[in-house]
Structure 1
């Protein structure tokens, strides 16, 4: 019998970008908060106990949707999507309501990364 792996909640989501300072400025404005940490090729934000880390593209990682997307819970997916699209994001998938009753949207930020949001079922 396999012992279940003890996993905690997600603690850090990394987005890789070509222009770190432009990404910091863009995310600071969208998130309405300043970074909590800067060092070398990365800058981290705290989003209610979960880190969002922007990291300069390197030989191991680059920006872009590649099969994994963490969904951030928000009060209103449509408001977030509209505001972010106004500031250069592109709707990649959604906004749409799925069979679970959740409202979801995947947004491509101006740096090529997926930022996904979900709204709990009404």
Structure 2
């Protein structure tokens, strides 16, 4: 991104361009350079860490178990599934964001998730471009989104 100005500019450590003289309100806006943001982890609150880890290994059979400083998590294609104990501040269940996973066959994955105890919570429903979506549950009531062709 190229910014032309007759005023001197300061580039901050956060890749933002800030005018050094803020005497004009018309130029007082801070322009930030676009930065790549990529999701790297999903924190999943469960009541039982061992049961959660065992179940998520079945749900994501290609996951790699990783342990760093006594913290065990699952890595799925460079994305971390981090299981932590639910508590009074953040419980488990259907009360927030849902991460959607791209699948090759929604019908196959729905059957596979049901075979390990999931309930189809929402869907399946057609969305766009011959894609379908649904939400399934884990044993703790959390939701997992699945998206792909039926």
Give TM-score scaled by structure 1 length.
0.83
Cα deviation for residue 86 of structure 1 reads: 1.6
Against the structure 1 CA distance between its residues 107 and 39, is the aligned structure 2 distance closer, same or farther, given a 3 Å change threshold? farther
Does residue 36 (structure 1) correspond to residue 66 (structure 2)? The answer is yes
Q: CA shift at 1:98, angstroms?
A: 1.4
Q: Please give the TM-score of this superposition, normalised by the length of structure 2.
A: 0.69
- Max Rg structure: 2
- The runs of at least 4 consecutive aligned structure 1 residues that moved more than 6 Å come to none
What is the rounded CA distance, in whole Å, between the counterparts of 2:101 and 2:116 in structure 1?
19
Structure 1 CA distance for aligned equivalents of residues 78 and 145 of structure 2: 17
Deviation at 1:60, TM superposition (A): 2.2
Q: What value does the CA root-mean-square deviation take over the aligned residues?
A: 2.3
Residues 75 and 25 (structure 1), Cα distance of their counterparts in 2 relative to 1, 3 Å cut = same
Structure 1 position 101, deviation (Å): 3.1
Gaps of 5+ in 1: none
**Does 1:85 pair with 2:82?**
no
Q: Structure 1 residues 39 and 55, CA, compared in 2 at 3 Å: closer, same or farther?
A: farther
List alignment gaps of at least 5 residues for structure 2: 1-28
Deviation at 1:88, TM superposition (A): 0.8
